[in-house]
Amino acid sequence: MVDQANNSFSLYKDDTATATLYDALAYSYQLNSDGFLVKCFQPGENGTRNTVEIQRHDNNQIKTIKSTDAYGFSTTTWFDYSVEDGRTVIRTTNNPVDGWTTAATGTTRCVYDANNKVVRTTGYSFAYQKGNMVMCATDYTLPDVFENIRVSYYRGGRSGRLDFLMRTILGKDYYIEEIRKLYMFSVFGIEGMTSIALSDGSPIQELEYQFSTGPNSSTEYNRKINFSYEYDDNGDITSMLQNAQQGVNNRSDRYTFVY
Protein backbone atom coordinates (compact mmCIF):
# COMPACT_ATOMS: atom_id res chain seq x y z
CA MET A 1 0.00 0.00 0.00
CA VAL A 2 1.41 3.39 -1.04
CA ASP A 3 0.89 6.69 0.80
CA GLN A 4 2.22 9.24 -1.69
CA ALA A 5 1.47 12.24 0.54
CA ASN A 6 3.82 10.91 3.24
CA ASN A 7 6.30 9.08 0.96
CA SER A 8 5.64 5.80 2.75
CA PHE A 9 5.10 2.17 1.74
CA SER A 10 3.31 -0.45 3.83
CA LEU A 11 3.57 -4.16 3.08
CA TYR A 12 0.81 -6.43 4.35
CA LYS A 13 0.33 -10.16 4.76
CA ASP A 14 -2.81 -11.60 3.20
CA ASP A 15 -4.76 -14.25 5.07
CA THR A 16 -6.26 -16.30 2.24
CA ALA A 17 -9.08 -17.41 4.57
CA THR A 18 -10.48 -13.86 4.63
CA ALA A 19 -12.01 -11.71 1.89
CA THR A 20 -9.72 -8.76 2.66
CA LEU A 21 -6.24 -8.29 1.17
CA TYR A 22 -4.55 -6.28 3.92
CA ASP A 23 -4.90 -8.53 6.95
CA ALA A 24 -1.68 -7.91 8.88
CA LEU A 25 0.97 -5.22 8.54
CA ALA A 26 4.35 -6.84 7.84
CA TYR A 27 6.70 -3.89 7.23
CA SER A 28 6.46 -0.13 6.83
CA TYR A 29 9.04 2.05 5.03
CA GLN A 30 9.30 5.85 5.22
CA LEU A 31 11.25 7.92 2.65
CA ASN A 32 12.15 11.61 2.84
CA SER A 33 11.12 14.17 0.22
CA ASP A 34 14.31 13.41 -1.76
CA GLY A 35 13.49 9.71 -2.05
CA PHE A 36 15.90 8.30 0.56
CA LEU A 37 14.88 5.84 3.27
CA VAL A 38 14.75 7.38 6.77
CA LYS A 39 12.69 4.93 8.82
CA CYS A 40 11.17 1.47 8.77
CA PHE A 41 9.53 -0.78 11.32
CA GLN A 42 8.19 -4.30 11.72
CA PRO A 43 5.35 -5.04 14.14
CA GLY A 44 6.16 -7.47 16.92
CA GLU A 45 4.11 -9.32 19.48
CA ASN A 46 1.74 -7.65 21.97
CA GLY A 47 1.94 -4.26 20.29
CA THR A 48 5.75 -4.09 20.21
CA ARG A 49 7.77 -3.38 17.09
CA ASN A 50 11.29 -3.43 15.70
CA THR A 51 12.29 0.04 14.50
CA VAL A 52 15.13 1.34 12.32
CA GLU A 53 15.86 5.09 12.10
CA ILE A 54 18.29 6.46 9.52
CA GLN A 55 19.85 9.85 10.25
CA ARG A 56 21.21 11.61 7.16
CA HIS A 57 23.42 14.60 6.38
CA ASP A 58 22.12 17.50 4.26
CA ASN A 59 23.44 15.76 1.12
CA ASN A 60 21.49 12.59 2.10
CA GLN A 61 24.58 10.55 2.89
CA ILE A 62 23.90 8.31 5.88
CA LYS A 63 25.18 9.54 9.24
CA THR A 64 23.88 6.75 11.49
CA ILE A 65 21.46 3.84 11.46
CA LYS A 66 19.85 3.07 14.82
CA SER A 67 18.03 -0.25 15.21
CA THR A 68 15.81 -0.88 18.23
CA ASP A 69 14.29 -4.30 18.84
CA ALA A 70 10.99 -5.19 20.49
CA TYR A 71 12.71 -5.35 23.91
CA GLY A 72 14.16 -1.85 23.65
CA PHE A 73 17.78 -2.84 23.00
CA SER A 74 19.49 -0.67 20.39
CA THR A 75 22.39 -0.88 17.95
CA THR A 76 23.83 2.24 16.32
CA THR A 77 25.95 2.06 13.16
CA TRP A 78 28.07 5.07 12.12
CA PHE A 79 28.95 5.77 8.46
CA ASP A 80 32.02 7.35 6.88
CA TYR A 81 32.16 8.07 3.12
CA SER A 82 35.26 8.53 0.97
CA VAL A 83 36.41 8.11 -2.64
CA GLU A 84 39.37 5.90 -3.59
CA ASP A 85 40.46 5.39 -7.21
CA GLY A 86 37.13 6.76 -8.42
CA ARG A 87 35.11 4.33 -6.31
CA THR A 88 32.87 5.10 -3.35
CA VAL A 89 34.11 3.59 -0.08
CA ILE A 90 31.79 3.36 2.91
CA ARG A 91 33.14 2.37 6.30
CA THR A 92 30.65 1.44 8.97
CA THR A 93 31.29 1.06 12.68
CA ASN A 94 28.69 -0.48 14.93
CA ASN A 95 28.35 -1.20 18.62
CA PRO A 96 25.75 -3.98 18.90
CA VAL A 97 23.84 -4.60 22.11
CA ASP A 98 23.10 -8.26 22.79
CA GLY A 99 20.71 -8.67 25.69
CA TRP A 100 22.32 -7.14 28.76
CA THR A 101 25.90 -7.08 27.46
CA THR A 102 27.60 -4.87 24.89
CA ALA A 103 29.65 -6.68 22.24
CA ALA A 104 32.93 -5.41 20.86
CA THR A 105 32.75 -2.67 18.25
CA GLY A 106 32.96 -3.95 14.68
CA THR A 107 34.02 -2.15 11.49
CA THR A 108 33.15 -3.01 7.88
CA ARG A 109 34.55 -1.54 4.64
CA CYS A 110 32.47 -1.68 1.43
CA VAL A 111 33.59 -0.53 -2.04
CA TYR A 112 31.07 0.35 -4.77
CA ASP A 113 31.81 0.95 -8.46
CA ALA A 114 30.39 3.69 -10.68
CA ASN A 115 27.25 1.58 -11.27
CA ASN A 116 26.62 1.26 -7.52
CA LYS A 117 27.55 -2.43 -7.47
CA VAL A 118 29.41 -3.71 -4.44
CA VAL A 119 32.82 -5.02 -5.52
CA ARG A 120 34.47 -5.51 -2.14
CA THR A 121 33.15 -6.00 1.37
CA THR A 122 35.06 -7.02 4.46
CA GLY A 123 34.95 -10.81 4.59
CA TYR A 124 33.11 -11.25 1.26
CA SER A 125 34.10 -11.89 -2.35
CA PHE A 126 32.04 -11.25 -5.49
CA ALA A 127 32.12 -12.12 -9.18
CA TYR A 128 30.24 -10.41 -12.02
CA GLN A 129 29.49 -11.37 -15.61
CA LYS A 130 28.15 -8.80 -18.07
CA GLY A 131 27.29 -6.48 -15.19
CA ASN A 132 25.31 -9.03 -13.17
CA MET A 133 26.47 -10.83 -10.05
CA VAL A 134 27.18 -14.54 -10.59
CA MET A 135 28.80 -15.41 -7.25
CA CYS A 136 28.89 -14.17 -3.66
CA ALA A 137 30.89 -15.91 -0.94
CA THR A 138 32.19 -15.40 2.57
CA ASP A 139 34.08 -17.14 5.33
CA TYR A 140 33.15 -15.13 8.40
CA THR A 141 34.98 -16.10 11.57
CA LEU A 142 34.71 -14.72 15.10
CA PRO A 143 36.03 -16.29 18.32
CA ASP A 144 32.75 -18.15 18.86
CA VAL A 145 31.05 -18.00 15.45
CA PHE A 146 31.91 -19.44 12.05
CA GLU A 147 29.84 -18.72 8.96
CA ASN A 148 30.46 -19.95 5.44
CA ILE A 149 28.23 -18.87 2.55
CA ARG A 150 28.33 -19.63 -1.17
CA VAL A 151 25.71 -18.11 -3.45
CA SER A 152 25.57 -18.71 -7.21
CA TYR A 153 23.33 -16.91 -9.70
CA TYR A 154 21.89 -17.94 -13.06
CA ARG A 155 24.17 -16.61 -15.78
CA GLY A 156 22.12 -14.65 -18.27
CA GLY A 157 18.99 -15.00 -16.15
CA ARG A 158 16.73 -12.02 -15.55
CA SER A 159 14.97 -10.89 -12.41
CA GLY A 160 12.63 -8.53 -14.25
CA ARG A 161 10.55 -6.39 -11.92
CA LEU A 162 11.49 -8.43 -8.87
CA ASP A 163 14.25 -5.91 -8.15
CA PHE A 164 11.97 -2.95 -8.87
CA LEU A 165 10.12 -3.37 -5.58
CA MET A 166 13.39 -3.42 -3.65
CA ARG A 167 14.60 -0.25 -5.33
CA THR A 168 11.27 1.48 -4.75
CA ILE A 169 10.79 0.87 -1.04
CA LEU A 170 14.47 1.13 -0.03
CA GLY A 171 14.97 4.45 -1.80
CA LYS A 172 17.78 5.87 -3.91
CA ASP A 173 20.70 4.28 -2.03
CA TYR A 174 19.11 0.81 -1.95
CA TYR A 175 22.45 -0.69 -3.04
CA ILE A 176 24.20 0.05 0.28
CA GLU A 177 24.60 -3.21 2.16
CA GLU A 178 23.21 -1.90 5.47
CA ILE A 179 20.10 -0.63 3.66
CA ARG A 180 19.57 -3.87 1.72
CA LYS A 181 19.43 -5.76 5.02
CA LEU A 182 16.16 -3.95 5.71
CA TYR A 183 14.46 -5.48 2.66
CA MET A 184 11.57 -7.78 3.56
CA PHE A 185 11.95 -10.27 0.69
CA SER A 186 15.40 -11.71 1.34
CA VAL A 187 16.89 -15.14 1.80
CA PHE A 188 17.86 -15.27 5.46
CA GLY A 189 20.59 -17.50 6.85
CA ILE A 190 20.15 -19.65 9.95
CA GLU A 191 19.77 -17.67 13.16
CA GLY A 192 19.22 -14.51 11.11
CA MET A 193 22.98 -14.03 10.75
CA THR A 194 22.94 -13.20 7.05
CA SER A 195 20.58 -11.52 4.62
CA ILE A 196 20.93 -12.09 0.87
CA ALA A 197 18.61 -10.25 -1.53
CA LEU A 198 16.54 -12.47 -3.80
CA SER A 199 18.48 -11.23 -6.82
CA ASP A 200 21.19 -8.82 -7.88
CA GLY A 201 20.16 -8.44 -11.50
CA SER A 202 20.34 -12.22 -11.90
CA PRO A 203 18.17 -14.66 -9.91
CA ILE A 204 19.80 -16.88 -7.28
CA GLN A 205 20.49 -20.43 -8.42
CA GLU A 206 21.85 -22.02 -5.27
CA LEU A 207 22.77 -21.01 -1.72
CA GLU A 208 24.98 -23.11 0.54
CA TYR A 209 25.22 -22.17 4.18
CA GLN A 210 27.30 -23.45 7.11
CA PHE A 211 27.09 -22.06 10.61
CA SER A 212 28.63 -23.10 13.92
CA THR A 213 29.02 -21.41 17.29
CA GLY A 214 32.58 -22.53 17.94
CA PRO A 215 35.33 -24.92 16.79
CA ASN A 216 34.32 -27.54 19.38
CA SER A 217 30.61 -26.79 19.51
CA SER A 218 27.89 -29.28 18.64
CA THR A 219 25.70 -26.40 17.43
CA GLU A 220 26.21 -26.55 13.68
CA TYR A 221 23.95 -26.09 10.68
CA ASN A 222 24.49 -27.11 7.08
CA ARG A 223 21.85 -25.99 4.62
CA LYS A 224 21.57 -25.95 0.84
CA ILE A 225 18.77 -24.18 -1.03
CA ASN A 226 18.12 -24.60 -4.76
CA PHE A 227 15.98 -22.06 -6.62
CA SER A 228 13.89 -22.41 -9.76
CA TYR A 229 11.65 -19.87 -11.48
CA GLU A 230 8.75 -19.41 -13.87
CA TYR A 231 8.47 -16.34 -16.12
CA ASP A 232 5.77 -14.50 -18.03
CA ASP A 233 6.05 -13.25 -21.62
CA ASN A 234 7.66 -10.00 -20.42
CA GLY A 235 10.51 -11.83 -18.73
CA ASP A 236 9.22 -11.11 -15.22
CA ILE A 237 9.38 -13.80 -12.55
CA THR A 238 5.89 -15.10 -11.74
CA SER A 239 6.84 -17.84 -9.28
CA MET A 240 9.88 -19.01 -7.35
CA LEU A 241 10.39 -22.47 -5.86
CA GLN A 242 12.89 -23.00 -3.03
CA ASN A 243 14.00 -26.54 -2.23
CA ALA A 244 15.95 -26.58 1.05
CA GLN A 245 18.01 -29.42 2.50
CA GLN A 246 19.31 -29.46 6.06
CA GLY A 247 20.73 -32.84 6.99
CA VAL A 248 17.99 -35.41 6.39
CA ASN A 249 15.27 -32.75 6.46
CA ASN A 250 13.82 -31.31 3.25
CA ARG A 251 11.47 -28.38 2.76
CA SER A 252 9.91 -26.72 -0.29
CA ASP A 253 8.45 -23.21 -0.45
CA ARG A 254 6.77 -21.61 -3.47
CA TYR A 255 6.33 -17.86 -3.89
CA THR A 256 4.00 -16.32 -6.46
CA PHE A 257 4.44 -12.77 -7.76
CA VAL A 258 1.52 -10.80 -9.26
CA TYR A 259 2.31 -7.51 -11.01
**Dihedral angle over CA of 7, 10, 11, 15, nearest 10:** -150
DSSP readout, 198-242? SBSSSBEEEEEEEEESSTT-S-EEEEEEEEEEEE-TTS-EEEEEE
Distance of CA 179 to the CA centre of its chain: 7
Each residue's pLDDT tens digit, 159-181: 667 777 888 889 999 888 888 88
pLDDT at 200: 64
Q: Provide the whole-model pTM.
A: 0.77
Distance set, CA 160 to CA 128, 169, 229, 258 (Å): 18, 16, 12, 12
Phi–psi pair at 4, nearest 5 degrees: -65, -35
What pLDDT shows up at residue 217?
A: 56
Cα of 154 vs its chain's centroid, Å: 19
Query: Are 47 and 40 spatial neighbours (Cβ–Cβ below 8 Å)?
Result: no
What is the model's pLDDT at position 106?
Answer: 66
Please write the tens of the pLDDT for every residue from 195-238.
Answer: 566 666 678 888 887 766 655 555 566 778 898 988 888 888 88
| Residue-level pLDDT, tens digit, the chain, 259 residues | 777 778 889 888 888 888 888 888 888 999 999 999 999 988 877 777 789 999 999 999 999 999 888 888 888 889 999 998 889 999 988 776 554 444 445 678 888 888 888 887 776 777 777 666 777 777 655 555 566 778 888 876 666 677 778 888 899 998 888 888 888 777 654 444 455 666 666 788 888 877 666 555 555 667 788 989 888 888 888 888 889 887 778 888 888 888 7
| Residue 175 · residue 183 · CB < 8 Å | no
The per-residue pLDDT for 96 is: 60
